[in-house]
Amino acid sequence: MPAFCRDCDMVLPPGRDICPACGGVRLIRHPALFDLAIGHVDCDAFFAAVEKRDRPEWRDVPLIVGGGARGVVSTCCYIARLYGVRSAMPMFKARKLCPQAVVLPPDGAKYRAVSAQVRAMLERLTPLVQMLSIDEAVLDLSGTQALHGAPPAIMLARLARQVEAELGITVSIGLAPNRLLAKLAAERGKPRGFCVMDRQAVSLLAPEPVGVLPGIGPAMVRRLAGLGIVSVGQLASLDEAASLRLGEDGPSLVARAKGDDNRPVTPGREAKSISAETTFAQDLRAPKALEDALWPLCEKLGRRLRRAGLAASGLVLKLKTASFVPRTRSLRLPNPTQLPETMFEAACPLLRREADGTAFRLIGIGAVPLVAADLADQGDLADLTTPKKRARQEAIDALRARFGADVVRRGRGLAGK
């Protein structure tokens, strides 16, 4: 069975458990090891790892990166996870589970800079790199062996060592014949993992819960459980007629459970949504107070859309109650927009229907689906005001870019101040 040492790249003869060249024991074996070319790279506990790199005295202490007392955990290190802390957990709960943890606010600029360094390393291996998030990417190394003089498996092991040596963080690697299996492989053996998974390995997933499959969240897990489907194997065994009873996504769910995935690696993947949200220092109930909180988010969303060269053709309003129950409401816009007042006026009716006296701890607004910016705020013969609003916004943006964000403030943004 093909095997090599992760620490020095030596290809090993059969029967070796220790590398004869370096004495390493991190050996990778798999029948298809040198035939697979889709890699998934996942930075381990990324935000926390970057912070620990910059503060070595925190290496052996639990560390949590997250918001204030009413925020959520963005990332926690593996030591903190031993206490039960998890990403997206409310901060008050994380502090209760691990009161001795060091807690830091996120430093987005720092994390984006490190992410860009990782991406540059990936793109030296292949141009087919698709960033899935700030700390996760998939790459297609097909046909690169002649260029690098080594198969994709060895190049990925070299990459992991390079990231660790030059950037001071670690990554976990998944190697497989397609994106789905590569992601599942990367989740195994973290941190510093390297897992190989081919189609034969799908049978090993059969007894696992359906929630291990990407894209199957808690709501779908509950729905499938109501139908008596709780394992990957049960989902994979459904025939076409049964899969259609799961809804329009049924066939794709069954295909996922079988390990099927024909998605290509697409560099420069466009964002599917852009959003902005905030957690309140105190729960809010009153419609006016909620609207006052919504307005600056619409301004922020508009800025993000304009910077990205995109526009909103629909909106999603996000709320979270004091007891952490999420509510989402969506609408399609009659015309795409980047203007904060247009988004605010469209979202307010949704918000007023939800402002029924319930106490809310979070509000957010998102743009989805996204379209090109040149389709936004064009107006027509029956709408002469939208182009004027767009020109006004462009003037405000120019002033803010030159003199600072506070040089122009809208009256609505001064509510409650």
- SS3 annotation, 131-179: EEECCEEEEECCCCHHHHCCCHHHHHHHHHHHHHHHHCCCEEEEEECCH
Question: What's the pLDDT band for 405 if we cut at 50, 70, 90?
Answer: low
Q: Just list the catalytic residues.
A: 136
Is the preceding peptide bond at 369 cis, omega within 30 degrees of 0?
yes
Let me know: does 103 contact 143? Beta carbons within 8 Å.
Answer: no
Assess whether pLDDT exceeds 60 at residue 416.
no
Question: What's the pLDDT band for 172 if we cut at 50, 70, 90?
Answer: very high
Least confident of 34-38, 182-186, 214-218, 316-320: 214-218
Let me know: does 302 contact 340? Beta carbons within 8 Å.
Answer: yes
Q: Provide Rg for the chain, Cα atoms.
A: 25
Residue 4: C-alpha distances to residues 126, 153, 170 (Å): 22, 9, 20
> Which sequence spans correspond to the domains of the chain?
31-201, 206-257, 274-414
Superfamily of domain 206-257, CATH level 4: 5' to 3' exonuclease, C-terminal subdomain (1.10.150.20)
Q: What are the phi and psi torsion angles at 128 (to 5°)?
A: -90, 75
**Cβ count within 10 A of residue 70:** 16
**Cβ count within 10 A of residue 321:** 15
Q: What is the pLDDT of residue 342?
A: 94
Assess whether pLDDT exceeds 90 at residue 129.
yes
Q: What is the pLDDT of residue 241?
A: 87
Q: Report, as an integer, the average pLDDT of 260-273.
A: 81
Q: What is the pLDDT of residue 413?
A: 59
Assess whether pLDDT exceeds 80 at residue 410.
no
Q: Both tokens of residue 318? A: 């996000």
Residue 236: C-alpha distances to residues 181, 230, 231, 255, 389 (Å): 15, 11, 9, 7, 53
The identity of residue 385, as a single letter, is T
If you write DSSP's letter for every residue of 236-277 in order, what string do you get? Answer: HT--HHHHHTT-TTHHHHHHHHTT---PPP-TTPPPS-EEEE
Report residue 277 CA to chain centroid gap. Answer: 16
Assess whether pLDDT exceeds 70 at residue 381.
no
CA dist., res. 14 & res. 390, Å (int): 69
Least confident of 185-194, 220-229, 249-258, 405-414: 405-414
Question: What's the pLDDT band for 379 if we cut at 50, 70, 90?
Answer: low
Give the model confidence (pLDDT) of 321-349 as tens digits: 998 889 999 999 988 999 999 999 999 99
Superfamily of domain 31-201, CATH level 4: Reverse transcriptase/Diguanylate cyclase domain (3.30.70.270)
Assess whether pLDDT exceeds 80 at residue 403.
no
Assess whether pLDDT exceeds 90 at residue 204.
no
Give the model confidence (pLDDT) of 81-127 as tens digits: 999 999 888 899 999 999 999 999 999 889 999 999 999 999 999 99
Let me know: does 373 contact 310? Beta carbons within 8 Å.
Answer: yes
Give the model confidence (pLDDT) of 270-301 as tens digits: 567 899 999 998 999 999 999 999 999 999 99
Q: Which CATH architecture has domain 274-414?
A: 2-Layer Sandwich (3.30)
Give the model confidence (pLDDT) of 57-90 as tens digits: 999 999 999 877 678 898 999 999 999 999 888 8
Question: What's the pLDDT band for 414 if we cut at 50, 70, 90?
Answer: low
Q: How many residues does the chain have?
A: 417
